[in-house]
Structure 1
Amino acid sequence: MEDLLEVYHLPYDADYPVVCMDESCKQMIGEVREPIPCKPGQPVRVDDEYVRNGVAEIFMEVEPLAGKRHVAVTERRTRKDWALQIKQMLDERYPDAIKVRLVMDNLNTHNIASLYETFEPKEARRLAERLDIHYTPKHGSWLNMAEIELSVLNGQCLDRRIADMETMQAEVDAWERDRNNSSKIIDWQFTTSDARIKLKRLYPNL
């Protein structure tokens, strides 16, 4: 916990950007009957019956101090999917960074081994050397600022029925562009000093 809090309070450095990553999922739901459009004095009416069209996986990546985020909607969340997201992040979104300080939870796919299972050893090593990984503690996923962005995404974009992968990708892309154009940063206030006071029960009694 204290390691993450110290990382969050480092000054902005384009050579070593702090990027938070998290994953979620969204069930794709289609309509059995077309909703009845709203009209004066009456909201849109949606039938309770629906059809399940599978689940989409969501990779959220956010750089809190720069107000930038990237969201990928995929069919799966395997080791290969995570590794491909890491390669795209390093080579396309942070090509000039010396290292990316990556914050994420300790999921079994979130490790250097996934890079070696996906790419040739030389390429996997090249990517690994550009990562400075900081894991959230067990039961401490609230320390990952990507969770904040996922909450915003769910409230502003995914709070309704979306029937298929193509529509979801298009809607999420539109949300991402609007959010990035607004340069919405995350002003993290919780410090190590706060933790030692408010979460003192987590520290050993000496």
Structure 2
Amino acid sequence: MQKLESLYPEAEIITVVLDNLNTHNASSFYETFDVREAARLADRFNFVYTPKSASWLNMIEIEFSALSRQCLNRCISSISKLSNEVIAYFKERSKKAIKIDWQFSRETARKKLNKYYTKVNSEKKKLLLHGI
């Protein structure tokens, strides 16, 4: 997070979208840094969480799981070697054109998420009626 922060020195608040893993919150700053640094970082970040019931949104989690099982499941002696291994792993996956078997269709999404569309559309309608 310190590195991410350094990439956006002008930003007052940095919004980060995360899943609901128990370590993905500002309390982790206090477990890692002294109180001043933890408080400073906590004030810089706004955490937005993906819904717990929407694991299908976390396609990157599938990639991390594959990486972990197929590449990182052993002792790697240095950061340099780790970097080389991960790059080689993704080059190989890219070369093989490995894809995720997406089974969540647009139709299924509409059925499952219709209650959210209704809510969003009614809010949008209210704003339009008020000229906003």
TM-score (norm 1): 0.36
Deviation at 1:144, TM superposition (A): 3.6
Closer, same or farther in 2 for the Cα pair 1:174/1:201, shift >3 Å?
same
- Number of residue pairs matched? 98
| Distance in 1, Cα, partners of 2:16 & 2:111 | 26
1:102 to 2:46 alignment = no
Partner of residue 111, structure 2: 198
Q: 2:35 aligns with which of 99, 116, 121?
A: 121
1:141 to 2:52 alignment = no
Bigger RCO (CA 8 Å, 6+ sep): 1
Q: Which has the higher helix share?
A: 2
| Distance in 2, Cα, partners of 1:97 & 1:148 | 31
Gaps of 5+ in 1: 1-85, 177-193
Cα RMSD (Å): 3.8
Q: 1:111 aligns with which of 19, 22, 25?
A: 25
Gaps of 5+ in 2: 91-107, 117-132
Whether the aligned pair in 2 keeps the contact of 1:104 and 1:144 (CA below 8 Å) is no
C-alpha deviations, 1:148-167, integer Å up to 9, x for none?
A: 6537x73xx97468753233
Whether the aligned pair in 1 keeps the contact of 2:71 and 2:86 (CA below 8 Å) is no
Deviation at 1:135, TM superposition (A): 0.7
| Distance in 2, Cα, partners of 1:100 & 1:161 | 30
Superposition pairs of residues 41-80 of structure 1, within 5 angstroms: none
Superposition pairs of residues 171-190 of structure 1, within 5 angstroms: 171-172=85-86
The one-letter code of the counterpart of 2:111 is K
Partner of residue 125, structure 2: none
| Distance in 2, Cα, partners of 1:160 & 1:173 | 10
